[in-house]
Each structure stands twice: as C-alpha cells, then as structure tokens.
Amino acid sequence: MAFETALVPTENGAKYLQQLCKHWSHKLDVQLSENKGIVRFPAAVATMTADSGALMVRVEAEDDETLQRMRGVVASHLDRFAFREAPLPFEWQKG
C-alpha cells in the first residue's frame, strides 16, 4: 500500500477535520475524535491529525493512481471548508 503525508499549516486544523469528517460520515466509514479523524474510502484511507498550528494529512491507497486521485479529493474538500485560508499549502511527501 502506498501513502503520502502533508503537513498543512493552519490554526484551524481541528475545526476543518471535524467538518470534513462529519461531511463524509454520511456515506463513508469515519472515526472521529477531537483532534483526529480517519476516513475509509473504498480504495483508500485518509488520516488527519490536528494540533495548534497544523493539520497532518496522510493518504494511503492500493496503488499510485488511486493515491494521487485521493490526495486531490482530500485537498479540494479541505480547501472548501477552509475557504478563508484557501488554497491551503499541501506539500505532499512520499512515505
């Protein structure tokens, strides 16, 4: 399984991950706590962890093509919820 991570600087990471996980929980398997969210897509898993200055995003997928697509899905959805800060700076790094 391939994965990539991005550290996204924002003071609102916990708020964004809460909003995003609640949004996806209507159709996907989601685990959510105050500062961590895990979203299970059909062919990928997104894990987000927030602290006071950043949001750590990790996307795992079965293959590189799916990984690239899911990176875009997660980033675009986060940018929608973070519209006041968007576009958020995602610097993806291979795991």
**Within-domain flag for 95:** no
AA identity, residue 53: G
**Within-domain flag for 33:** yes
Residue 7 has a pLDDT of: 95
SS3 91: coil
Question: Which CATH number fits the domain that encloses residue 34?
Answer: 3.30.310.50
Residue whose C-alpha is closest to residue 11's, from 53, 57, 48: 53
**Within-domain flag for 53:** yes
State the Cα–Cα distance between residues 47 and 39, nearest whole angstrom. 6
**Within-domain flag for 17:** yes
**Within-domain flag for 90:** no
**Within-domain flag for 12:** yes
Residue whose C-alpha is closest to residue 95's, from 12, 1, 7, 4: 4
Q: What predicted TM-score, i.e. pTM, was given to this entire model?
A: 0.93
Q: Give residue 73's domain range.
A: 2-84
| Number of domain units in the chain | 1
Residue 95 has a pLDDT of: 78
Q: Give the chain's residues under pLDDT 70.
A: none
**Within-domain flag for 92:** no
